[in-house]
Chain A
Amino acid sequence: QQQVKQSPQSLIVQKGGISIINCAYENTAFDYFPWYQQFPGKGPALLIAIRPDVSEKKEGRFTISFNKSAKQFSLHIMDSQPGDSATYFCAASSGGANFNKFYFGSGTKLNVKP
Chain B
Amino acid sequence: NAGVTQTPKFRILKIGQSMTLQCAQDMNHNYMYWYRQDPGMGLKLIYYSVGAGITDKGEVPNGYNVSRSTTEDFPLRLELAAPSQTSVYFCASSLVSGSLGEQYFGPGTRLTVT
Chain A residues with a Cβ under 8 A of chain B: 2, 4, 6, 9, 31-32, 34, 41-46, 51, 89, 93-102, 104-107
Q: Is the CB of B45 within 8 A of A43?
A: no
Most chain-A Cβ atoms within 10 A of its Cβ — which of B45, B50, B98, B108? B98
Q: List 20 A-B contacts (CB under 8 A).
A: A2-B42, A6-B42, A32-B98, A41-B108, A43-B92, A43-B105, A43-B106, A43-B107, A44-B105, A46-B102, A46-B103, A89-B43, A93-B98, A96-B99, A97-B100, A98-B97, A99-B97, A101-B58, A101-B98, A105-B42
How many of B's residues come within 8 Å of A, CB to CB?
26
Q: Is the CB of A42 within 8 A of B107?
A: yes
With an 8 A cutoff between CB atoms, is B24 at the interface? no
Q: Is the CB of A9 within 8 A of B48?
A: no
